[in-house]
Amino acid sequence: MRASAIRYLSTCRLSHRLAASFWEKTVQIWDLDLKEKVGQFDTGRVDGSNQLHLDLKGELGVVAAWSAGSRGGVACFEIPAGKLIWHRADLRHAQGISFSTDGQSLWFQPNEGRVQRLDAHSGGTVEKLTGVKHIHPNPYSSEVFIEKRSGGYVLRGVKDFAIPKITFAILDVAFGPESLSVTESTGPVRCLDCHSGAELWRYEPAKNNHILRLWYREPDKSFYGVQWQYHLGGAHKLLRFDGKSGSVEEICQIRSWEEAVCVGLDCLVASTGALISLSNGKPLGQLDFPQREYPDKLVLARN
């Protein structure tokens, strides 16, 4: 069965560009206003850690492979042309990449060893952090949500707040101006106050469901999430969580295995190429993503 060849998506807060990739090897750049592809390039990476990220303006794109070396490591490219800016062949086993709030640096988060903050324009190491597994920066301030290797989380700002860990892994973190939401694998979604770390509300998915991704939408001051029944596969559900009460509303189902949100256009982009309104779940257009042949069972399970 034919389905989308795109495996990973990345959007940016300050432009309407989208990066869509066949893992991290081939990257396409799309203009979501025009609904047209404006660039494509081969990164030279050869094995997957499923890491692809654009900076805030969509001018830099960083990809990471699992192995190190000339065809691995972490590399930064000019967007949309795909010109190589820098390459760190010594870095390996990426489990996360995230740009800082100001876009001047990025966090490289390996499976083992110390997290490194890299200069976004040169790739040089600015600092190393011990005991940190993942860092999630707040786009509204200098706060960061930290997953510690020893277990547990810390909301770090003017004052640090310890946040208990419920399950074995974080799936996503989304910040609003005053609060954040965090979802854990096989666990709940929790909304926390950024000024105190106090839990404001909690959503418990049905058995064998969890929330894969989270976003914050400013017009209605709500968090949005994609729920998946992981033991059966199938369609994802787009949910809205009221920012104050946590009350839940199902917006629509999504036939997709990966999603990203373009804040400026107030829409969700699915790996199928569908553009979907966050506010009401209605279709807004279709990107002509490349297709490939999959075994029927795989497509039915993941799409």
In this predicted structure, the answer to whether residue 302 has a pLDDT above a threshold of 80 is no
Q: Please compute the mean of the pLDDT values over residues 70-88 and round it to a whole number.
A: 95
Domains of the chain: 1-130 (2.130.10.10)
pLDDT band at 47 (very low <50, low <70, confident <90, very high): low
In this predicted structure, the answer to whether residue 298 has a pLDDT above a threshold of 90 is no
Helical (H) or strand (E) element with 300: helix 296-302
Q: Please compute the mean of the pLDDT values over residues 128-154 and round it to a whole number.
A: 94
Structure tokens at 174: 């989304």
pLDDT band at 238 (very low <50, low <70, confident <90, very high): very high
Q: Please compute the mean of the pLDDT values over residues 49-70 and round it to a whole number.
A: 89
Query: What pTM, to 2 d.p., does this model score?
Result: 0.93
How much is the pLDDT for 51? 85
The 10 Å Cβ neighbour count of residue 247 is 12
How much is the pLDDT for 235? 83
- What is the share, in percent, of the chain residues with pLDDT greater than 70? 95
How much is the pLDDT for 158? 87
Looking at beta carbons, which pairs linking 156-165 to residues 24 or more positions away fall under 8 Å?
157/194, 161/196, 161/197, 162/197, 163/192, 163/197
Tell me the per-residue pLDDT of 10-28, one tens digit each, with 9 for 90 and over. 999 999 999 999 866 889 9
Tell me the per-residue pLDDT of 147-200, one tens digit each, with 9 for 90 and over. 999 989 999 998 999 999 999 999 999 999 999 999 999 999 999 999 999 999
How much is the pLDDT for 216? 97
- Rounded Cα distance between 189 and 186, Å, is 10
Listed residue (2, 8, 1) closest to 271, CA to CA: 8
More confident residue, 53 or 2: 53
Q: Please compute the mean of the pLDDT values over residues 214-233 and round it to a whole number.
A: 94
In this predicted structure, the answer to whether residue 281 has a pLDDT above a threshold of 80 is yes
pLDDT band at 50 (very low <50, low <70, confident <90, very high): low
If you search the block for the tokens 């979907």, which residue do you land on?
276
Q: What 3-state DSSP class applies to 178?
A: coil
In this predicted structure, the answer to whether residue 224 has a pLDDT above a threshold of 50 is yes
Cα dihedral 40, 44, 46, 48 sign: negative
The 10 Å Cβ neighbour count of residue 248 is 14
In this predicted structure, the answer to whether residue 301 has a pLDDT above a threshold of 60 is no
Q: Please compute the mean of the pLDDT values over residues 113-135 and round it to a whole number.
A: 96
Summary mean pLDDT of the chain: 92
How much is the pLDDT for 23? 67
> For the chain, give me the number of helices (H) and strands (E)?
1, 30
Q: How far apart are the first and last CA of the chain?
A: 11
- Rounded Cα distance between 203 and 246, Å, is 7
pLDDT band at 297 (very low <50, low <70, confident <90, very high): low
pLDDT band at 293 (very low <50, low <70, confident <90, very high): confident
Q: Is the peptide bond before 80 cis (omega within 30 degrees of 0)?
A: yes
